C-alpha cells in the first residue's frame, strides 16, 4: 500500500506537462454506441489521451446519462454520478434510474487527472436498451404456409407490404429466427452481418439482432422480406450429422419500431398477414454447401411493388419468446478478400484455383452462360502429393456449392447459409476459361477488433504468427470452433481453453467469450459436468456426458483468462456458479482427494510413434493429468472467490487444494521428484500448476529440459501440455530451451508446418508428413488453432507484454522482453482498455534498444536486460535522471524501473547471449 502511494505520488510529480487530458473512445459494454443492450446495469469505459505527457493517471471521474442529447441541461438526466474519486476507467457500472426497453441514452464523462486538472466533457456516446422482456415482443413467430419439400428444404422467403403515411424519424428492426436469416427492406439488405442470429444454446438462449433501418424506408409503400436457412438450428450437424438438433421448424420473428417525426410510433411485426414462398436457394447446409438456382429468382421480392398474390400464407407458431436475448458479441461479417494466386489443371484434369491462404468463408463468382448451365465449386485445404485436389479430410462434409444459371448476361453468385474452410477450389461446369477477375474468396468471421500484432527478425516466426491469426479468424465464427471445414465445426471446449489467452492478444475476444461462456453455463449438466462441445449438440444424439479433464476446465480457465486479460469482474460473477459446479463435480468423483475416474481425452495428439520399440511415444497418464487440472481449476476458483470477496469459499477450497496436491504427490511422484509419467507434459503441468513442493521444482525443470534434449530439442506435448511448455521453461530459467523449441523446424515443432507451406495452424504436428503424404483423413484438419497457443508466449515473453495479477486487464503492466533465439529484434503492440502498449526491442551495433509505450491511467514495471542501472540510458539520458521513472529492485539479468504512461526509449550495452 505504502509502495503504491509512493508510486502514485511519483507519478503525480511526474505529470510535468499541464496540457489538458482528453477523454475519448467511449464504450458501453465494450461496444461503441451499441443499440441492443440487455444488461440492466451496463458498464462504461473510456480512455484518457495526453499527448507527450508522462505519468498521467485519472484521480476522479464524473458520468452523466440522459435520454436527451442536451446532457448538460440536466433536465432529463437519468444518472449523474457526481465526482467520484477513483482511477477506474473501465467497466464503471451504471447506477441511475431503471433503464427502459428500446430507449436510447446519451452519456458523457469527464475526468480529473493527477495534475489536478479536469478534462472537458467527452463527446456524447450513446447506447440503446434492447427488448427486455417477452412482453416487449409484439411480433409472432411465423413459419412457411406451404408444404415444405422435406428432402431438400429450400430456403423460404417471407414478405409483407406496408405503408408509412408520415415522415419517418427513425426505425429499428428486431429480428431473430429458428435457423439463419437474412432480411431485406425495399430490396436492400438489412445490415452487413452473416449467419445471424448466431449460435447459442438455442433452447435456452436465442439472440436477436437490432438494426437501424431508417435509411431503408421510404414515404408511402414499403415492403420487408426475410429468407431463412437451416443453419445450426435444424441443419445436418454434429458428429454423425443429423438434422433438427433443436427443432424441425424454421421460423422468423420480426419486429420493426418506426418513430415518425411528430413523435408518434408504428410497429410492423411478423404475423399471419405475411406471405411465404421459396426462391433461388434450393438447398443450404453448413457442411454440404448451398445450391442456388438463379432461374428461381423472384425479382424484387422484397420491394413494395412486388405482386405476392401467388405466394402462400404463413403459419403462426407459439414458440417461446422468454429465451430471447440481445446480441452481446460481435456479429459475423465479411473481412479480407483474396484473388486467385494461381489457376491450374491438376494431373487428374481438375480445374483448380489457389487463393494462397487457408481461410473460412466462401467464393464469389461471376459468370455468363445459358439458362440451366450448372457450375459446382468444391473446396479443399490442400493439394495432395501428386498435385490433385484433396477432400478426404473433410470426411462427410461435401463442402460444395452449386450454381444454376438463368442465362442472358453476366450473373454473380455467392452462397447463403453455409461456409467452408478452404484455400483451393475446384470448379466444374464453368462455361469458358477460369479468369482471376471472376473469382474472389471472402473471409467471414466474428467482427472482433484487431488488438495485437507481433513481429520479429525471423521470417518463419512471423509466418507462424500469421498462421495463428488466421487460425483464429477461421475458427472464431460466432463460437470458438475446433476446425471450420470437416463435418465437425463444433465448440470443442478443450481447444477453446487452450487458445483463449492467445486469442485475447490478437483480437478483442472479450464479448465473444463472455457470450459463449453463458452457453457453457447453460449447457452444463446438473451434476456440474461440462459437455465436450458448447453449444452441446452432441447431447441430443447421446454422444456426450462431458467431464473430460482439460476440456471441461474451460469453465474455470476461460473466465479467469478473460478476467486477467480484460480486468472484467463481471465475467467472474456471471460464471462463478458454473466454475464452482465443475470443481464440485471433480470433488464428488474423487476418492481420498484423488480424481481417477471417468473418460478423458488426455494430452490429445501428443507425439506418438507407430513402431515404438524403445517407447519414445510421449504418453502421459490421463488420471495424472486429471489430478493436475483438478488442482488448477480449484486454484482458479480460489482466485475468483478472492476477487469476489467470497471468503468462506476461498478458505474451503484452499484447504481442498492442499489435499488435492498431497494426493497427487502420494500417487504420482517419487520422493526424489520423478513423476510416474516421465513426459514433458507431466513435468509441464506439475510446474505450471505448482503441484510440486518448492524443493522439488527446480529438479523437475531440469528433468523437463533433459527430456526435451533427449528428443533432439523437440517438444512431444499434445493439446494440454503445449500451451504451457515455453512458459514453464522461461519461469525456471530456461528461455534458451524455449527458444530452441520455438525455432525447431523439424517434426514435431511449430515451424515444421510453416516450412511445409502452412498458412494456418494444423491440428496435428505432422498433418503433412515430410514425404508429402497426409496423416489419416479421419482426423486431419489444416485449420485448428490449439497449437497456436504459443502466441501467448511470443507476446508475453519474447516481446514481454504482460499484466500483473493485482492489476488485471493491463491496469498494472509488466514489460519484460526476453532476448534469445538469435533474434535481432521483436515487437509487439497491444490495444488494451486504456490504450496501446508497445514493446519493441532490437540489438544493434552491440546495443540493446527497447522502445516502450504505456497508456494513460496505467502503471508499468519495466525490465531492461542489463546488469546495472548505470549502463542504461533513457532517451539519451542516464536512467537515474529520466522523467517519470523510479528505480525498483533489480532481478537477475534485469534492471527494473517503475513508470507511468508515456513513451520511453531505453538503451544499454547488449547483454551476452
What distance in Å separates the CA atoms of residue 833 and residue 566, rounded to the nearest whole number? 7
Among 91, 492, 595, 750, binds ligand BGC (CB under 6 A): 492
Of 494 and 865, CB closest to ligand BGC = 494
Name the segment binding ligand BGC (CB under 6 A); options: 141-149, 420-428, 490-498, 802-810.
490-498
- Cell numbers at 2, concatenated: 505504502
8 Å CB contact between 127 and 66? no
Of 107 and 604, CB closest to ligand BGC = 604
Q: How far is the CB of 494 from ligand BGC (least distance, A)?
A: 4
Distinct helix (H) and strand (E) counts, the chain: 15, 46
Q: Can you name the residues that pair with 236 across neighbouring β-strands?
A: none
Of 483 and 631, CB closest to ligand BGC = 483
What distance in Å separates the CA atoms of residue 741 and residue 542, rounded to the nearest whole number? 41
Backbone angles phi and psi of 420, in degrees to 5: -135, 155
Residues 6+ apart with CB under 8 A from 43: 28, 29, 90, 91, 92, 93, 94, 570
Name the segment binding ligand BGC (CB under 6 A); options: 426-434, 492-500, 688-696, 737-745.
492-500
Of 328 and 606, CB closest to ligand BGC = 606
What distance in Å separates the CA atoms of residue 238 and residue 489, rounded to the nearest whole number? 8
Name the segment binding ligand BGC (CB under 6 A); options: 70-78, 147-155, 487-495, 671-679.
487-495
Q: How far is the CB of 554 from ligand BGC (least distance, A)?
A: 11
Among 232, 576, 601, 863, binds ligand BGC (CB under 6 A): 601
What distance in Å separates the CA atoms of residue 682 and residue 872, rounded to the nearest whole number? 41
Of 483 and 705, CB closest to ligand BGC = 483
Per DSSP, 790 falls in state: G
Q: How far is the CB of 628 from ligand BGC (least distance, A)?
A: 18
Name the segment binding ligand BGC (CB under 6 A); options: 319-327, 456-464, 491-499, 884-892.
491-499
Q: Is 320 exposed, middle or buried (0-12, 13-18, 19+ CB in 10 A)?
A: exposed
Q: How far is the CB of 637 from ligand BGC (least distance, A)?
A: 23
Of 520 and 860, CB closest to ligand BGC = 520
Q: How far is the CB of 669 from ligand BGC (least distance, A)?
A: 27
Q: How far is the CB of 751 from ligand BGC (least distance, A)?
A: 21
What distance in Å separates the CA atoms of residue 707 and residue 722, rounded to the nearest whole number? 15
Note whether 495 binds ligand BGC by CB under 6 A. Answer: yes
Q: How far is the CB of 482 from ligand BGC (least distance, A)?
A: 4
First to last CA, the chain: 37
8 Å CB contact between 196 and 229? no
What distance in Å separates the CA atoms of residue 289 and residue 401, rounded to the nearest whole number? 5
Of 178 and 784, CB closest to ligand BGC = 784
Of 328 and 785, CB closest to ligand BGC = 785
What H or E segment, with its residue span, contains residue 558? helix 554-566
Among 144, 235, 494, 673, binds ligand BGC (CB under 6 A): 494
Of 110 and 622, CB closest to ligand BGC = 622
Note whether 488 binds ligand BGC by CB under 6 A. Answer: yes
Q: How far is the CB of 305 from ligand BGC (least distance, A)?
A: 49
Of 492 and 632, CB closest to ligand BGC = 492
Q: How far is the CB of 777 from ligand BGC (least distance, A)?
A: 13
- Cell numbers at 805, concatenated: 495479477
Q: How far is the CB of 740 from ligand BGC (least distance, A)?
A: 27
List the x/- string, 207-236, binding to ligand BGC by CB under 6 A.
------------------------------
8 Å CB contact between 184 and 225? yes
**Beta strand segments in 165-245, E:** 168-178, 180-185, 188-189, 206-212, 220-229
Note whether 482 binds ligand BGC by CB under 6 A. Answer: yes
**Beta strand segments in 67-119, E:** 77-80, 84-85, 92-93, 104-113
Q: How far is the CB of 514 from ligand BGC (least distance, A)?
A: 22
Binding residues for ligand BGC, rule CB under 6 A, total 10
Q: How far is the CB of 407 from ligand BGC (least distance, A)?
A: 43
Closest of 796, 843, 844 to residue 816, by C-alpha: 796
Backbone angles phi and psi of 391, in degrees to 5: -125, 5
The residues annotated as belonging to the active site are: 488, 763
Of 26 and 483, CB closest to ligand BGC = 483
Name the segment binding ligand BGC (CB under 6 A); options: 432-440, 481-489, 517-525, 868-876.
481-489
Residues 741-780 that bind ligand BGC (CB under 6 A): 779
Of 105 and 525, CB closest to ligand BGC = 525
Of 182 and 488, CB closest to ligand BGC = 488
List the x/- string, 80-119, binding to ligand BGC by CB under 6 A.
----------------------------------------
3-state secondary structure of 382: strand
Closest of 228, 485, 281 to residue 378, by C-alpha: 485
Q: How far is the CB of 526 from ligand BGC (least distance, A)?
A: 23
Q: At what angle are helices 510-523 and 493-506 packed, to 10 degrees?
A: 160
Q: Give the Å distances, CA to CA, from 330 to 28, 182, 326, 362, 449.
A: 13, 17, 11, 20, 9
What distance in Å separates the CA atoms of residue 106 and residue 64, rounded to the nearest whole number? 8
Backbone angles phi and psi of 276, in degrees to 5: -140, 155
What distance in Å separates the CA atoms of residue 126 and residue 138, rounded to the nearest whole number? 25
**Beta strand segments in 437-561, E:** 439-446, 452-456, 476-477, 479-480
Note whether 782 binds ligand BGC by CB under 6 A. Answer: no
Closest of 457, 453, 425 to residue 441, by C-alpha: 425
Q: Give the Å distances, CA to CA, from 182 to 185, 198, 229.
A: 11, 12, 9
What distance in Å separates the CA atoms of residue 549 and residue 597, rounded to the nearest whole number? 10
Q: At what angle are helices 510-523 and 569-588 packed, to 10 degrees?
A: 30
Residues 268-307 that bind ligand BGC (CB under 6 A): none
What distance in Å separates the CA atoms of residue 538 and residue 239, rounded to the nearest whole number? 7
Binding site for ligand BGC (CB under 6 A): 482-483, 488, 492, 494-495, 601, 604, 779, 784
Amino acid at each position: 500500500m505504502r509502495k503504491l502511494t509512493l508510486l502514485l505520488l511519483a507519478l503525480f510529480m511526474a505529470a510535468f506537462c499541464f496540457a489538458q487530458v482528453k477523454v475519448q473512445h467511449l464504450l458501453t459494454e465494450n461496444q461503441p454506441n451499441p443499440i441492443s443492450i440487455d444488461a440492466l446495469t451496463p458498464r462504461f469505459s473510456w480512455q484518457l489521451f495526453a499527448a507527450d505527457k508522462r505519468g498521467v493517471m485519472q484521480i476522479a471521474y464524473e458520468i452523466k446519462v440522459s435520454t436527451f442529447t442536451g446532457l448538460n441541461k440536466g433536465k432529463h438526466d437519468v444518472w449523474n454520478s457526481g465526482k467520484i474519486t477513483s482511477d477506474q476507467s473501465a467497466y464503471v457500472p451504471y447506477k441511475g434510474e431503471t433503464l427502459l426497453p428500446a430507449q436510447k441514452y446519451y452519456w458523457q464523462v469527464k475526468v480529473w487527472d493527477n495534475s489536478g486538472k479536469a478534462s472537458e466533457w467527452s463527446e456524447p456516446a450513446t447506447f440503446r436498451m434492447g427488448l427486455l422482456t417477452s412482453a416487449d415482443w409484439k411480433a409472432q413467430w411465423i413459419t412457411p404456409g406451404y408444404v415444405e419439400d422435406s428432402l431438400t428444404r429450400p430456403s423460404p422467403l417471407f414478405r409483407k407490404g406496408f405503408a408509412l403515411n408520415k415522415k419517418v424519424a427513425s426505425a429499428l428492426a428486431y429480428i431473430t429466427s429458428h435457423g439463419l436469416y437474412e432480411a431485406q427492406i425495399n430490396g436492400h439488405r438489412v445490415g452487413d452481418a452473416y449467419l445471424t442470429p448466431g449460435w447459442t444454446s438455442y433452447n435456452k438462449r436465442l439472440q436477436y439482432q437490432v438494426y437501424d433501418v431508417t435509411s431503408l424506408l421510404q414515404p408511402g409503400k414499403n415492403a420487408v422480406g426475410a429468407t431463412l436457412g437451416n443453419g445450426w438450428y435444424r441443419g445436418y450437424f454434429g458428429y454423425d450429422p443429423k438434422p433438427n438438433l433443436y427443432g424441425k421448424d424454421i421460423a422468423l420473428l420480426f419486429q420493426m419500431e418506426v418513430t415518425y417525426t411528430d413523435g408518434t410510433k408504428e410497429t410492423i411485426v411478423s404475423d399471419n398477414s405475411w406471405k411465404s414462398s421459396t426462391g433461388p436457394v434450393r438447398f443450404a447446409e453448413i457442411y454440404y454447401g448451398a445450391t442456388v438456382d438463379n432461374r428461381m429468382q423472384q425479382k424484387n421480392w422484397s420491394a413494395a411493388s412486388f405482386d405476392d398474390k401467388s405466394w402462400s400464407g404463413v403459419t403462426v407458431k407459439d414458440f417461446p419468446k422468454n429465451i430471447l436475448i440481445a446480441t452481446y458479441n460481435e456479429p459475423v461479417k465479411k473481412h479480407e478478400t483474396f484473388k486467385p494466386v494461381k489457376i491450374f489443371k491438376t494431373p487428374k484434369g481438375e480445374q483448380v484455383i489457389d487463393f494462397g491462404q487457408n481461410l473460412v468463408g466462401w467464393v464469389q463468382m461471376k459468370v455468363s452462360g445459358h439458362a440451366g448451365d450448372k457450375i459446382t465449386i468444391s473446396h479443399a485445404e490442400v493439394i495432395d502429393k501428386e498435385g490433385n485436389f484433396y477432400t478426404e479430410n473433410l470426411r462427410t462434409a461435401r463442402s460444395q456449392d452449386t450454381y444454376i444459371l438463368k442465362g442472358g448476361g453476366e450473373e454473380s453468385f455467392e452462397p447463403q447459409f453455409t461456409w467452408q474452410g478452404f484455400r483451393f477450389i475446384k470448379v466444374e461446369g464453368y462455361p469458358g476459361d477460369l479468369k482471376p477477375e471472376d473469382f474472389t474468396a471472402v473471409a467471414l468471421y466474428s467482427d472482433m477488433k484487431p488488438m495485437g500484432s507481433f513481429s520479429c527478425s525471423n521470417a518463419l516466426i512471423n509466418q507462424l504468427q500469421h498462421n495463428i491469426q488466421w487460425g483464429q479468424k477461421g475458427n472464431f465464427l460466432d463460437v470458438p470452433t475446433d476446425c471450420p471445414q470437416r463435418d465437425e465445426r463444433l465448440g470443442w471446449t478443450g481447444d477453446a481453453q487452450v487458445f483463449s489467452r492467445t486469442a485475447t492478444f490478437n483480437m478483442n475476444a472479450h464479448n465473444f467469450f463472455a457470450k459463449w461462456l453463458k452457453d457453457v453455463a447453460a449447457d452444463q449438466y446438473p451434476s456440474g459436468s461440462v459437455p465436450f462441445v458448447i453449444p452441446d449438440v452432441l447431447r441430443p444424439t447421446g454422444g456426450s456426458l462431458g467431464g473430460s479433464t482439460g476440456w471441461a476446465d474451460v469453465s474455470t480457465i476461460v473466465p479467469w483468462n478473460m478476467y486477467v486479460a480484460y480486468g472484467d469482474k463481471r465475467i467472474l460473477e456471471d460464471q462463478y456458479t458454473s466454475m464452482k459446479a465443475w470443481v464440485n463435480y471433480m470433488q464428488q468423483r474423487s476418492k481420498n482427494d484423488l480424481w481417477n475416474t471417468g473418460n478423458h481425452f488426455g494430452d490429445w495428439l501428443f507425439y506418438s510413434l507407430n513402431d515404438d520399440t524403445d517407447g519414445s511415444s510421449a504418453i502421459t497418464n490421463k488420471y495424472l493429468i486429471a489430478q493436475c487440472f483438478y488442482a488448477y481449476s480449484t486454484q482458479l476458483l480460489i482466485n475468483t472467490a478472492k476477487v469476489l470477496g467470497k471468503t468462506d469459499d476461498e478458505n474451503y477450497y484452499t484447504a481442498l487444494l492442499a489435499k488435492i496436491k498431497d494426493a497427487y504427490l502420494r500417487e504420482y511422484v517419487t520422493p526424489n521428484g520423478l513423476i510416474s509419467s516421465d513426459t514433458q507434459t507431466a513435468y509441464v503441468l506439475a510446474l505450471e500448476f505448482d503441484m510440486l513442493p518448492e524443493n522439488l521444482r527446480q529438479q523437475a525443470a531440469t528433468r523437463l529440459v533433459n527430456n526435451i534434449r533427449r528428443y533432439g530439442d523437440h517438444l512431444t506435448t499434445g493439446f494440454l501440455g503445449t500451451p504451457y511448455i515455453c512458459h514453464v521453461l522461461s519461469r525456471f530459467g530456461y528461455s534458451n530451451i524455449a527458444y530452441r523449441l520455438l525455432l525447431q523446424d523439424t517434426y514435431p515443432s511449430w515451424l515444421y508446418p510453416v516450412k511445409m507451406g502452412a498458412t494456418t495452424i494444423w491440428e496435428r504436428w505432422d498433418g503433412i508428413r515430410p514425404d508429402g503424404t497426409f496423416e489419416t483423413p479421419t482426423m486431419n484438419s489444416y485449420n485448428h488453432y490449439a497449437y497456436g497457443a504459443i502466441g501467448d508466449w511470443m507476446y508475453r515473453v519474447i516481446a514481454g507484454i504482460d499484466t500483473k495479477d493485482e492489476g488485471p486487464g493491463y491496469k498494472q503492466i509488466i514489460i519484460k522482453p526476453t532476448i534469445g533465439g538469435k533474434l535481432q529484434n521483436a515487437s509487439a503492440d497491444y490495444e488494451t482498455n486504456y490504450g496501446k502498449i508497445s514493446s519493441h526491442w532490437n540489438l544493434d551495433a552491440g546495443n540493446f534498444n527497447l522502445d516502450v509505450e504505456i497508456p494513460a491511467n496505467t502503471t508499468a514495471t519495466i525490465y531492461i536486460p542489463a546488469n546495472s542501472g548505470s549502463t542504461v540510458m533513457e532517451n539519451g539520458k542516464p536512467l537515474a535522471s529520466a522523467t517519470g521513472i523510479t528505480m525498483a529492485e533489480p532481478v537477475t539479468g534485469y534492471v527494473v524501473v517503475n513508470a507511468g504512461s508515456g513513451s520511453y526509449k531505453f538503451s544499454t550495452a547488449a547483454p551476452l547471449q
